Chains A and B, each alone.
Chain A
Amino acid sequence: MSPELMGYIGFFVMLALLAIGTPIGFALGLVGFVGLGFLITWEAAIIKVGVIGFDIATNYELGVLPMFLLMAHVCFATGASRAFFDVAARFWGHRRGGLAMASVGGCAGFGAVSGSSLATAATMGLVAIPEMRKHNYAPALAAGSVAAGGTVGSLIPPSGMLIVYGILTEQSIGRLFAAGVLPGLTQALFYLFAIVIWCGFRPQLGPAVDKSTWKERWEALKKTSDITILVIFVIGGLLLGWFTPTESGALGAFGAVAIGLVRGKLTLSSFKKALVDTLQTTGMLYAIIIGAFVLSTFIAASGVTDQVSELILRGDASQLEILIGIMIVFFFLGMFLDGMAMMALTIPIFFPIIQNAGIHPIWFGILLVRTIEIAMITPPVGMNVFVIQGIAKDISLRTIFGGVMPFLVADILHLALLIGVPTLSLFLPNMM
């Protein structure tokens, strides 16, 4: 059997392992290990997995992951989501669909500390959906805006997805964070336009609420000022080269703990919970990263990516065609797999291809995360939609998917913009 054929078989075995519920990291690692065993020798495969495991476990650069996770979990404990929603609601609530806009704005603000789409949708949903329903918002708009809004958090730094992408592809996490800023902000703007247009046609969906006074707005703004300053300091310092990503994460976690203590919101039990949650997520991500590295060693040794690259180059496909082809694969995979699985599964295969095609890896990272996040609200999996349904149990899945549709249209237009205008992603990293 040729090595390439083994690579293709490995890919299908891996899909089968994922389908039967094998944990993602273990499925990737197992296929990589067995593949290496057949390709080289079992002895070498055993040593390789041992080397990869310990190298990753002691990698200083990987410290960025637990540090930013700790920052996020401490911020959850201090009730930051409510504060971010309140600010946006005070400024936009009096407009038609204003509370839905506030949900998107709150998600963008909270996304800057959470770094996770699911976590942003879940925490913002608890705050924003009851508020919108209290003011007679249509369930579809209320649930749809939060489910979609949650995905804004994945591009605005610090983004968990971009960190994992940076680790798996050995790209600068600082440059990836810089690249995520403008696409994240423009995504939020696209969502706001979607709400304006939707409520313009059907004003009854999101009735305006009483206008807040400037004093109320100022009060609300003050409540988020400390966390906003922390995020600007941590991310700004990273972009300006004052700190490395790990240092930035450590300072962010330290600052979040300090803010929690000063606010009096961080109790011993909530702090313990933040630490335990950080450990759980860290362990899960370490398993995925180790698995992905073992798999990528196998894929590289099998020569599959070289073969596919050659085929693509021989077919004279342009960068745009390659990108669109990959995005279509992601849309398809996104119907069945969750984001992290997609990333870990596809990077070992697609990354060498895009490198051979001369596509900028930072730009590709942004497009990849953006597409994965679109899958988070696309049927039939749409993880964010399920999370929102778990919070608002009386709103049917059908209604939420219906509510997400205008945002999905905005997403596709936004993705087209990101593909058509690479500068949007590359302007800030090129300044570094």
Chain B
Amino acid sequence: MMEKIIRLVEAVARNIGAFSLLAVMLLVSLSVAGRHLSIPLPGSIEIAEVLIALIASASFIFATFQDKHAIARLLIDHVSMKTQALLEKLATFFSIVICLSISYGSMWLIIDVWDLFEETPLLLIPIVPFRIIWFAATFLGSLYLLRVLLHLLTGKKITRPSASLEAES
């Protein structure tokens, strides 16, 4: 059940991220062409901004779920397997702390600005939904890392969504 939920979240993030990438690419290209042909697209920057928020949120989930965050292999390649396992637990724990902090800070701000009805200046696109999406991305990332830590502590095998995707393809 949990595997299915994780794979669903990852698929949603992948599709939203891919759609937003293409949308920004097309929108910004059209806006440049429009500007040089004297057919401006007013508000295109505002739409691009919210699409970029979707790219950031989706890509954060995607990179976290697929364990693609960059690490510096200073020590971990030169220690025993047992020490490596211990260090992995510690590193995952620290990752959870910062992800949860960002998540908590984002939630705090949502509550803080809720009554202000933040909008973009030209197209009046409400900002709060994108704050919620960003919060959700960091919170889901934290939950996923928490699950990884639990698996590490209990010695369960970790099936990363990327691995199951590769197996599928």
Partner of A250, one of B29, B69, B101, B109: B29
Q: A48-B105, A53-B138, A280-B63 are in contact. Are A338 and B32 (CB under 8 A)?
A: no
Contact: B70 with A20, CB < 8 Å?
no
Check A59 for interface membership: any CB of B closer than 8 A.
Answer: yes
Closest Cβ of chain A to B167, distance in Å, is 15
Q: Mark B93-105, 1 if CB is under 8 A from A, else 0.
A: 0110111011011
Q: Quick one: which of A265-288 are within 8 Å of B by CB?
A: 272, 275-276, 278-284, 286-288
Closest Cβ of chain B to A431, distance in Å, is 22
The 28 listed contacts between A and B (C-beta, < 8 Å) are A19-B74, A19-B75, A21-B87, A26-B94, A30-B101, A33-B98, A49-B98, A49-B101, A50-B102, A51-B105, A51-B109, A53-B138, A54-B53, A57-B52, A63-B52, A250-B29, A251-B28, A251-B29, A251-B32, A254-B25, A254-B26, A278-B21, A279-B58, A280-B59, A282-B55, A282-B56, A283-B69, A286-B60
Check B88 for interface membership: any CB of A closer than 8 A.
Answer: yes
Closest Cβ of chain B to A139, distance in Å, is 24
Could you tell me which A residues sit within 8 Å of B by CB distance? Answer: 15, 17-27, 29-30, 33, 45-51, 53-54, 56-60, 62-63, 66-67, 70, 242-243, 246-247, 250-251, 253-254, 257, 272, 275-276, 278-284, 286-288, 290-291, 336-338, 340-341
Contact: A283 with B95, CB < 8 Å?
no
Q: A24-B69, A341-B70 are in contact. Are A283 and B60 (CB under 8 A)?
A: yes
Closest Cβ of chain B to A66, distance in Å, is 5
Contact: A22 with B95, CB < 8 Å?
yes
Closest Cβ of chain A to B86, distance in Å, is 9
Q: Which chain A residues lie closer than 8 Å to B32 at the CB level?
A: 243, 247, 250-251
Q: Mark B24-37, 1 if CB is under 8 A from A, else 0.
A: 11111101100010
The residue in chain B whose Cβ has the minimal distance to the Cβ of A277 is: B68
Contact: A247 with B28, CB < 8 Å?
yes
Q: Which chain A residues lie closer than 8 Å to B99 at the CB level?
A: 26
Contact: A276 with B21, CB < 8 Å?
no
- CA distance in complex: A202, B26 (Å): 53
Q: A26-B98, A50-B108 are in contact. Are A66 and B68 (CB under 8 A)?
A: no
- CA distance in complex: A125, B129 (Å): 45
Q: Which chain A residues lie closer than 8 Å to B94 at the CB level?
A: 17, 22, 26-27, 30
Q: Which chain B residues lie closer than 8 Å to A27 at the CB level?
A: 94
Contact: A280 with B21, CB < 8 Å?
no
Contact: B74 with A336, CB < 8 Å?
yes
- CA distance in complex: A41, B75 (Å): 33
**A interface, by DSSP: helix, strand, loop or mixed?**
helix
- CA distance in complex: A53, B130 (Å): 12
- CA distance in complex: A62, B53 (Å): 10
Check B7 for interface membership: any CB of A closer than 8 A.
Answer: no
- CA distance in complex: A18, B127 (Å): 35
The residue in chain B whose Cβ has the minimal distance to the Cβ of A340 is: B70
- CA distance in complex: A25, B102 (Å): 12
Q: Which chain B residues lie closer than 8 Å to A276 at the CB level?
A: 14, 18, 62
Contact: A246 with B28, CB < 8 Å?
yes
Contact: B31 with A21, CB < 8 Å?
no
- CA distance in complex: A291, B63 (Å): 15
Q: Which chain A residues lie closer than 8 Å to B131 at the CB level?
A: 54
Contact: A22 with B104, CB < 8 Å?
no
Contact: B68 with A284, CB < 8 Å?
yes
Q: Which chain A residues lie closer than 8 Å to B66 at the CB level?
A: 280
- CA distance in complex: A18, B53 (Å): 28
- CA distance in complex: A223, B36 (Å): 29
Q: Which chain B residues lie closer than 8 Å to A29 at the CB level?
A: 98, 101-102
- CA distance in complex: A25, B138 (Å): 13
The residue in chain A whose Cβ has the minimal distance to the Cβ of B104 is: A46
Contact: A54 with B109, CB < 8 Å?
yes
Closest Cβ of chain A to B19, distance in Å, is 9
- CA distance in complex: A272, B66 (Å): 16
Closest Cβ of chain B to A19, distance in Å, is 4
Closest Cβ of chain B to A32, distance in Å, is 9
Contact: B60 with A287, CB < 8 Å?
yes
Check B45 for interface membership: any CB of A closer than 8 A.
Answer: yes
Closest Cβ of chain B to A147, distance in Å, is 18
Contact: B98 with A253, CB < 8 Å?
no
Check B140 for interface membership: any CB of A closer than 8 A.
Answer: no
Contact: B69 with A287, CB < 8 Å?
yes
Seed contacts A21-B74, A283-B59; 15 additional CB < 8 Å A-B pairs? A18-B71, A21-B75, A24-B71, A26-B99, A50-B107, A58-B130, A246-B28, A250-B28, A251-B29, A276-B18, A276-B62, A280-B68, A282-B56, A283-B69, A286-B60
- CA distance in complex: A49, B142 (Å): 15
Contact: A18 with B74, CB < 8 Å?
yes
Q: A58-B130, A250-B25, A284-B63 are in contact. Are A338 and B48 (CB under 8 A)?
A: no
Closest Cβ of chain B to A295, distance in Å, is 11
The residue in chain A whose Cβ has the minimal distance to the Cβ of B90 is: A20
- CA distance in complex: A67, B95 (Å): 27
Contact: A23 with B95, CB < 8 Å?
yes
- CA distance in complex: A2, B49 (Å): 40
Contact: B53 with A53, CB < 8 Å?
no
Contact: A23 with B53, CB < 8 Å?
no
Partner of A33, one of B70, B90, B101, B108: B101
The residue in chain A whose Cβ has the minimal distance to the Cβ of B76 is: A21
